[in-house]
Amino acid sequence: MDLRLDRLATLYLVSPLMRLASTAKLSIPVLMYHSISEEDESRVHAYYRTSTAPDVFADQMEQLHGHGYSTCSLAQALDYLRADTQTAARCVVITFDDGYRDFYTQAFPVLNRHGFSATVFLPTAYMGENRVQFKGRECMTWPEARELQRYSTLFGSHTVTHPQLHGLSTRAIDEEIVNSKKTIEEKLGCAIESFAYPFAFPQPDTKFTHMLHDSLRLAGYHNGVCTIVGRADRMSDPFFIERLPINSCDDAALFNAKLAGAYDWISKSQYVAKMAKTQAARLCWQS
């Protein structure tokens, strides 16, 4: 395991402080996976890796099962949090971005063995009746998605072409979120209520996030997720729910700490860094 400052701070600073605290807010972890594969990401920093080895994923699901977790949908998670029910105490939402075929071949059999459900977010330009690739990886086909749907796998939109929405025109954004929703509904014959924001979420740009919030609502979405790190709670924006990034570098100790909330500090540090960068750019432009 490579030396990681985020891991050290989480396990040896934040976790002990949390154990000393007498109160804890009600929250639900929403796990963010991408590919379940043995892809070599040794040149990528551990935090940014998007592959989880099949044996690591199996261990993580076994850990959830052993700790008594049950899975729920994003809509159910929001309902539990609004009702302030203890049902949320051992719930987890499992999500997968990009619609890779290895969800069908590697992740689903493990999930099904434990009676777990998951939500898979699809970039519809890379879905077909025949095999299509995205970022060099094979994606699911529509027949495979329909088969998974019969076993309680849920699906959501991940746009049409997986663009960086930040910087696009409102019209272009609307085309991405409306057309992807329409396509999935036509192909799978069910209402699509969830959306996953592609790429890093531009949280400091409140003008953009307010616009996107309104566009998603008008398009008929009920909830969504993004890359803000943390667990969902009653204060979460239902369209930009926080998630916990998971990959092969999450050993049992770090995985458990993320579930418990000891990794939530990351989002605050990232927000401060982004705000500082934005302010520096503004000052540079004005000078």
154-163 residue pLDDT tens: 999 999 999 9
What is the reported pLDDT for 85?
83
At residue 72, the pLDDT reads 97
The pTM is what? 0.94
Q: What pLDDT is recorded for position 89?
A: 83
Q: Range of 22's domain?
A: 5-286
Q: What CATH number does residue 23 fall under?
A: 3.20.20.370
How many distinct structural domains can be found in the chain?
1
pLDDT of residue 133: 96
Whole-number pLDDT of residue 286: 61
Q: What pLDDT, in 10s, does the model give residues 106-125?
A: 999 999 999 999 999 999 99
Question: What per-residue confidence (pLDDT) applies to 274?
Answer: 65
CA neighbor of 238 nearest in space, from 49, 79, 2, 39 = 79
pLDDT of residue 253: 97
Contact 132, 158 (CB under 8 A): no
Low-confidence ranges of the chain (pLDDT < 70): 1-3, 22-23, 273-287
Q: How many C-beta neighbours within 10 Å does residue 134 have?
A: 17
CB within 8 A of 243, min separation 6: which ones?
A: 30, 31, 32, 95, 225, 226, 227, 228, 229, 230
CA nearest neighbour of 213 among 224, 204, 198, 227: 224
- Pairing, β 119-122 against β 91-97: parallel
Predicted local confidence at residue 21, as pLDDT: 80
State how far the Cα of 146 lies from the Cα of 189, in Å rounded to an integer. 9
Task: Give the C-alpha separation, 55 to 77, whole Å.
Answer: 28
Cα 87 to Cα 26: distance, rounded to the nearest angstrom: 10
pLDDT in tens, 68-80: 999 999 999 999 9
Rounded CA separation 6/89 (Å): 25
